[in-house]
Amino acid sequence: MLIEEVPTRLARRVRNGELDAALISSVEAYRDDALEALPGIGVASRGAVWSIKLFHKLPLDRVRSVALDTSSYTSAALTRILLAERYGNTPEFVNLPPDLDRMLSTCDAALLIGDPGLRAEREGVPYLDLGEAWYEWQGLPFVYAVWAGRPGVFAEGLGDRLHAALERGLTRIDAIVEAEARQRDLDPDVCREYLRNIIRYRLGPEEEQGLRLFLKRAAAYGIIKPK
């Protein structure tokens, strides 16, 4: 059985034993030793990601408050790290639903993730693409999510099935776009380019290196336990 939820809720359900495994935020997968990550596949980008945007009304070094869409803890953690290390800024973070107008009426900046991030544009309000910012800073891909589950579950055959499912899915991107884009209020051409050329699903040595570096920075900020 497959269940569609935002990554934060999926992680909770895996930890509670309701699900064997899920595609979850990389921060959640490596937060402690309770979960095991499946090597080789996930969600990554090499540069701009298009769907994770930090809109800001003030220059980023002067932003005093950031509204977070908490669908993904990884994107929230990356926002905190980038603001601190690239802009010397440690603003207040506020959790709000992914409504850009409301977020910007409450805070100086707003983080949108996923479909809301792909759709969102505001004339006169610039945004930082977090994948692009990470790549310019570190020169490595960024891994947003990985498959994680209870220890041992992937060795029982689920890991092989997920790798096979990825390969089948990559041959059906046009069908996926046809089925999903309109009902999600997304431009089909944008979705096709996003799924084909922006998102990377196979995690090779550079993706693993980028993930290790991010986890090290996250541990330095107390977001996860040091490895």
Domain edges within the chain: 52-138
Strands of 142-149's sheet in order across: 21-25, 142-149, 36-45, 199-202
Give the mean model confidence (pLDDT) for residues 181-210: 96
E strands within the chain? 21-25, 36-45, 52-56, 65-68, 92-95, 109-113, 127-129, 142-149, 199-202
pLDDT tens digits along 162-191: 999 999 999 999 999 999 998 999 999 999
CA distance 64 to 49: 25
Mean pLDDT of all residues belonging to the chain: 94
Q: So what's the pLDDT on residue 32? A: 77
CA distance 109 to 8: 21
Distances (CA, A) of 143 to 6, 208, 211: 17, 8, 6
Task: Band the pLDDT of 202: cuts 50, 70, 90.
Answer: very high
pLDDT tens digits along 82-100: 999 999 999 999 999 999 9
Query: Lowest-confidence range among 12-26, 53-67, 135-149?
Result: 12-26
Q: So what's the pLDDT on residue 44? A: 98
pLDDT tens digits along 27-83: 999 987 889 999 999 999 999 999 999 999 999 999 999 999 878 889 999 999 999
Q: So what's the pLDDT on residue 227? A: 65
7 pLDDT higher than 90 = no
Which residues is 73 bridged to in the sheet? none
Q: Which two tokens stand for residue 123?
A: 């004339």
Cα atoms found within 13 Å of the Cα of residue 217, Cβ hemisphere only:
21
How does 105-144 read in b/e, with b if 16+ C-beta sit within 10 Å? eebbbbbbbbbbbbebeeeeeebbbbbbbbbeeeebbbbb
CATH superfamily of 52-138: Periplasmic binding protein-like II (3.40.190.10)
Class of residue 152 by CB neighbours under 10 A (exposed 0-12, middle 13-18, buried 19+): exposed
Task: Band the pLDDT of 107: cuts 50, 70, 90.
Answer: very high
Task: Band the pLDDT of 11: cuts 50, 70, 90.
Answer: confident
Contact present, 199 and 45 (Cβ < 8 Å): yes
